[in-house]
Structure 1
Amino acid sequence: MIAFLIFLATYLLMECVTWCTHKFVMHGFLWYLHEDHHQPKYAHVFERNDLFFVIFATPSILLFYFGAEAGFDYKFFIGLGIFAYGLSYFIVHDIIIHQRLKLFKNTKNKYLIALRKGHKVHHKHLGKEHGECFGMLFVPFKYFKI
């Protein structure tokens, strides 16, 4: 039971980590890597922004390794929570919102529509300043209005 609570707490905390990282790191000193994600699309499959996948996967991998080495202690379940959030992020951000795979294209789900609206507002700014809606799973209520 404690392992599940560690996993769940980590997963939920990752939304706060994501918001802060997106606002202060990706729209801050690592804007160079994130910038192409805010530009009109070009013919490349990958963006520099995709390097964040490697950056954010590293702590999860290390926690898996050291947690397994220690007999599957709390570190393993923190790594699992980070991994689950990263998988959720990929599905929501890359597949549902940006349609890198053409799934969920014609959804009528109010939550998914609100996610897309919030992210569209985030992307209306091509520069790193004046951004809003930096999270991923939490959607402000104003985006549920049609």
Structure 2
Amino acid sequence: MTILLYIVVTLISFLLMEVVTWLTHKFVMHGFLWVLHEDHHQPRYQGVFEKNDTFFVIGAIPSILLFYFGTFPSLNYLFFIGLGIFLYGACYFLVHDVIIHRRFKWFDNVKNPYFKALRKAHKVHHKHLGKEDGECFGMLYVPMKYFKQYIK
């Protein structure tokens, strides 16, 4: 594989993770593993971690395995699929925990219309305290109805 093909594999893997995230969030986190996600929908918790953070560990396992198997016997496409998953996870952390929920006060004054729309869509998702009737299950995709509010 050429370097360009590795870049394409990484980008496709990254983009497909938005689909995986949407499906996992809707059918797993708001389904049979609600017990781990429920505290994330409750009024602010006390402490650094919540049970929902378990999903970061679960999400890291495929990336770690792909990094491992993508380097033996030599570097191959599996490594770059793992890289796409890893990069998505890093973006998920920055966007979801830092920009949206402000668990870390790194970017408190975000004025970008995309990030404002993303925060609004996520706020709409969190207005439901139970696992039913949810909406906006993705992480990077913002429905246009939220984005239009912030475009001048």
Alignment TM class, shorter chain as reference: over 0.9
Query: Aligned residues, how many?
Result: 146
Amino acid at match of 1:47: E
Q: 4+ runs of 1 displaced by more than 3 Å?
A: none
1:101-120 matches, cutoff 5 A: 101-120=104-123
| Counterpart contact for 2:9–2:80, Cα < 8 Å | yes
* Paired position in structure 1 for 2:69: 66
- Please list the CA deviations of residues 39-96 of structure 1 after superposition, one character each: whole Å capped at 9, or x if unmatched: 0012121000001011000000000001011311111000000000000000000000
* Paired position in structure 1 for 2:19: 16
> Percent of aligned positions with the same letter in both sequences?
68
| SS at 1:127 equivalent | coil
Q: Any gaps of 5 or more consecutive residues in structure 2?
A: none
Root-mean-square deviation over aligned CA pairs: 0.8
* Paired position in structure 2 for 1:131: 134
Would you say 1:82 and 2:85 are equivalent positions?
Answer: yes
Amino acid at match of 1:142: K
1:48-63 matches, cutoff 5 A: 48-63=51-66
TM-score (norm 1): 0.98
Q: Report the alpha carbon displacement of residue 105 of structure 1 after superposing the two structures with TM.
A: 1.4
